[in-house]
Chains A and B, each alone.
Chain A
Amino acid sequence: MTISPRLREELLGSVRSLRAFAVSLCGQPDRADDLVQETLVKAWSNIDSFQEGTNLQAWLFTILRNHYYSEIRKRRREVEDADGHYASRLATHPPQQGHLDLADFKVALRQLPDDQREALVLVGASGFSYEEAAGICGVAVGTIKSRVSRARSHLAKALKIENEADMGPDSTTEAVFTSLRQRRA
């Protein structure tokens, strides 16, 4: 197989966003890196099936997502977890501690149903269009739109920010700027 230099650059450049997406899917940094690792290996060995000029990032996200869900299905078959896998995952894997201001948001995000969270992240953070997100998740565009909207409503309710007055001073903006500055540095 041959990988053009441009494709290689793009592939390497996608690793950071793949990690961020993987963490949003599984909530565990270590497992997220496993997912990224397996995704890269798969992508690399199937690179011939990728049509250069189409959206590499979307292709990689699709591989990672499919891999994640097929693993979950496998694990469910292997381990009949009577305690409910989702609840225990929430309880034993608190979100990464970071900016204090974001802690509540992370908890609320983690509590969203998986399908809503991934739709919201793909569109709201990874920068995919609704159409691209629909392609990645293998559902209709309308489904993605409604998942995103339900996710936002859930978050607003969980964070009790259903109107502007509840939002308070926006220290998050500062956090975003900080991280952008760090990225440029």
Chain B
Amino acid sequence: MKDKDKSNGKGPASKRPTLDQNVQVHIGRKLKAVYEEVATAPIPDRLVQLLAKLEESQRK
């Protein structure tokens, strides 16, 4: 019986080394923290007013 085509792991598709899992997690946390800084901030007045206006226009 022949060996199945073993490419020894390193096929032509071998890509650049992937980052350490922990580094990915670390970057992910920082990224979320930066994002949440804005996403958890209060919505500015002008947007609140705009939303109110849009809702008002819907009722008409």
**A residues 132-185 in Cβ contact with B at 8 Å:** 149, 152-153, 155-156, 159, 161-164, 167, 170, 172-173, 175-176, 179-180, 182-183
Closest A-B pairs by Cβ, 7 of them? A125-B35, A20-B39, A20-B38, A179-B36, A105-B30, A16-B39, A164-B22
Size class of the B contact interface (CB-based, 8 Å): 20 to 34
State the Cβ distance, A116 to closest chain B Cβ, in Å. 12
A interface residue numbers (CB < 8 A to B): 1-3, 8, 12, 15-17, 19-20, 23-24, 29, 32-33, 36-37, 40-41, 44, 96, 98-99, 102, 105-106, 109, 120-121, 124-126, 149, 152-153, 155-156, 159, 161-164, 167, 170, 172-173, 175-176, 179-180, 182-183
Residues of A near B55 (CB, < 8 A) are 8
Judge whether B31 is part of the interface by a CB distance below 8 angstroms.
Answer: yes
A19 near B43 with CB under 8 A, answer yes
Q: Tell me, in angstroms, the Cα distance from A143 to B37 when the chains sit together.
A: 28
Which B residues touch A109, using CB under 8 A? Answer: 31, 34
Interface, chain B (partner A; CB < 8 A): 16, 18-20, 22-24, 26-41, 43-44, 46-47, 50-51, 54-55, 57-58
Q: Contacts A162-B23, A167-B23, A182-B40 hold; do A1 and B58 have CB atoms under 8 A apart?
A: yes
CB neighbours of A149 from chain B (8 A): 18-19
Q: Are A40 and B51 in contact (CB under 8 A)?
A: yes
A46 to chain B, nearest CB (A): 12
User: Could you name 14 residue pairs across A and B whose Cβ atoms are closer than 8 Å?
Assistant: A16-B38, A16-B40, A17-B39, A32-B38, A40-B50, A102-B34, A105-B34, A120-B31, A152-B23, A153-B19, A156-B27, A161-B26, A172-B33, A176-B33
